[in-house]
Amino acid sequence: MGKFIKVLAAMLIVGGGALAHTISTAEELAAFRDEVNGGNDFSGQTITLVKDIDLENKEWVPIGAGTGRFRGTFNGNGYTIRGVFIDQPTSDHIGLFGRGAGTIKNLNLHVDITGSHQVGGLIGQGSGTIRNVAIFGRVQGNANNVGGITGHNWGIIESSRSYATVSGARVHNGGLVGQNERTIRDSYVFASVSGSGAVGGLVGLNMSSGRIENSYATGSVSAVNNTHRGGLVGENRAAATAIISSFRTTQGNNEHGILITEEELKDPATFTDWDFIDTWGIDPTGYINGGFPYLQAFAVTVTWDDPNFTFNGEEQIPTATATTANGDTLELIITTDKEAINAGSYIATATLKIPREFPFLLNATKVFEIKPKSLKE
C-alpha cells in the first residue's frame, strides 16, 4: 500500500465499487502525486479536494511525470490550488499534471510555470476530459506547444477559462491550448499570448481533427516572425467548418474565428447558437465579468430573504444564502450602503466570507426598506 493511502483524510466505497479519496492538504496532494508517478493510475477512482490548498511556491513535480499516468477522476470540487510553481526550463510535459488520460474538473489554479515542450497550467499533455477549470498566473515554455490549460490536447475541454499569460519561445502557443487535436467547447481566454509563430488567443495550432465550438478569446496576441498569428487560432489545419460560433476581438493576420468588437462581445444577440440557459450568462450592468460572457459553472447565486422591516431603533439587515453551481452553500458577509437604522431605503451587498475563485457573484445586491413606525404603536 502506497504512502498516499496512509495519509488520506478519508477513503470510501462509492457506487459501482469504485474508490473515492479526499485530499485536504499539500502533503496529501504530494503523496497522491507520488502514487501516480510510482505507477498507480487510479483508474476507476475519484480524487476530491475538500479544502483550498496552498503549495507555497515550492518547486512542484507534476502528477504524471516520467512513466506515471493519471486515468481516474480528479474533482477539485470548486476549490483552489495556489502557489503551483515549476521552474524546469529544459523539461517536457510540465503542469500541475504532466500527462494523463483521466477527467479533471471543478478546479481553480494559480500557477507560475516554466517548462520546455508540452507545457500547460493544468496539464502538459492530456487525452481525457477537462471541465470547469480556471487558470490564473503565468505559463512559459522554451520550445513548442504551450497553453494556459494544456500544451497539447487530445481530449475534450469544456466550460473552462484562462486568465494566465502565455509565452513560448517557439511555435504553437495558445491562451487555452498550444496544439489541439480534439474538441474545445464553451470556453474562453482573457490573457496575452506570445511566441515565435502559430500563436492564437485560444489555440496556437488546431490540427485536422481539432474542433472549436462556442468559445471566445480577447487579449493581445504577438508572434516574433508574424506568421500564423490569430485572435482565436494561430494556425488552422482543420476545415473552416471545424471552428463553430467562436469569436475574437483581436485582428491577427488570419480569419479564423469571427472578428467582433468588445461591445459586440457583450451583446447576447451576437451569440445566436449559445446556451444562455444552463451554460453561459451575460450581465448587462457589467458587474459580472465586465459584461463579457461568463460561465455559469463558476457562478455563485445569492438568494435574499424578503424582509419586512419597521423602524425599531436598531440596525436591521436582510439575510441571504449563497449557492454554487454544484449545490454547495457558502457563508456571506452582508454590508449596507449606510447604517440601516432609520426609516428609508438602503442597498445591501453580499460578499463571500471566505473568498473563493468565483468572480461571478449573481444577484449580489438588494434594495430594501425600513418603514416608519406606526403612530398607533
| pLDDT value at 212 more than 90 | yes
d(CA 151, CA 204): 9
Q: Can you tell me the distance from the alpha carbon of 328 to that of 359, in angstroms, rounded to the nearest whole number?
A: 16
- pLDDT per position as a tens digit, 93-125: 999 999 999 999 999 999 999 999 999 999 999
Q: Is the alpha carbon torsion for 110, 112, 115, 117 positive or negative?
A: positive
Mean pLDDT of the chain: 92
What is the average pLDDT across 203-217? 98
d(CA 311, CA 263): 44
350 with 320: CB under 8 angstroms?
A: yes
Q: Which amino acid is at 255?
A: E
Q: Residue 323: CA atoms inside 13 Å, Cβ hemisphere, count? A: 7
pLDDT tens for each residue of 171-195: 999 999 999 999 999 999 999 999 9
**What's the rounded mean pLDDT across residues 40-64?**
96
Cα–Cα dist 220/202, whole Å: 11
Query: What is the reported pLDDT for 375?
Result: 66
Between 70-79, 182-191, 200-209, 357-366, the lowest mean confidence (pLDDT) is in 357-366
Phi and psi angles of residue 363, each rounded to the nearest 5 degrees, phi first:
60, 45
Q: Provide the 3-class DSSP secondary structure of residue 85.
A: strand
Task: Give mean pLDDT, residues 341-364.
Answer: 86
- Burial (CB < 10 A; 0-12, 13-18, 19+), residue 359, is middle
355 burial type by CB count under 10 A (0-12 exposed, 13-18 middle, 19+ buried): exposed
**SS3 at position 97:** strand
Taking the mean position of all CA atoms in its chain, how far away is CA 373? 49
The whole-number average pLDDT for the span 147-176 is: 98
Residue 10 is predicted with a pLDDT of 44
The confidence score (pLDDT) of residue 19 equals 65
**227 has pLDDT over 90:** no
Q: Say yes or no to pLDDT of 8 above 70.
A: no
**b/e code 101-132 from CB counts within 10 Å (16+ = b):** bbbbbbbbbbbbbbbbbbbbbbbbbbbbbbbb
**14 pLDDT higher than 50:** no
> CA-to-CA distance for 3 and 22, rounded, in angstroms?
14
Its pTM stands at: 0.90
pLDDT digits (tens, 9 = 90+) for 120-135: 999 999 999 999 999 9
Q: Minimal CA–CA distance to 251: which of 220, 290, 292? A: 220
Degrees, nearest 5: CA angle 204-282-362: 115
pLDDT band at 18 (very low <50, low <70, confident <90, very high): low
Closest CA to 209 of 188, 187, 179, 232: 179
| pLDDT band, very low/low/confident/very high, at 279 (cuts 50, 70, 90) | very high
pLDDT of 7 above 60:
no
Q: How far apart are the first and last CA of the chain?
A: 73
Q: Is the dihedral of CA 274, 277, 279, 284 positive or negative?
A: positive
pLDDT beyond 90 at 358: no
Residue identified by cell 504553437 is 172
20 pLDDT band (50/70/90 cuts)?
A: confident
Question: Model confidence over 280-298: pLDDT tens digits?
Answer: 999 998 888 999 999 999 8
Rounded distance, CA 284 to CA 99, Å?
A: 40
Q: How many CB atoms lie within 10 A of CB 40?
A: 19
pLDDT of residue 338: 97
Other C-beta atoms closer than 10 Å to the C-beta of 224 total: 14
Phi, psi of 81 (to 5 degrees): -110, 115
To 5 degrees, how large is the angle CA 152–CA 158–CA 161? Answer: 80
d(Cα 371, Cα 138) in Å, to the nearest integer?
Answer: 52
pLDDT confidence bin for 13, thresholds 50/70/90: very low
Q: Please spell the DSSP secondary structure of 353-370, one letter per residue.
A: SS--S--EEET-EEEEEE
pLDDT over 50 at 277, yes or no: yes
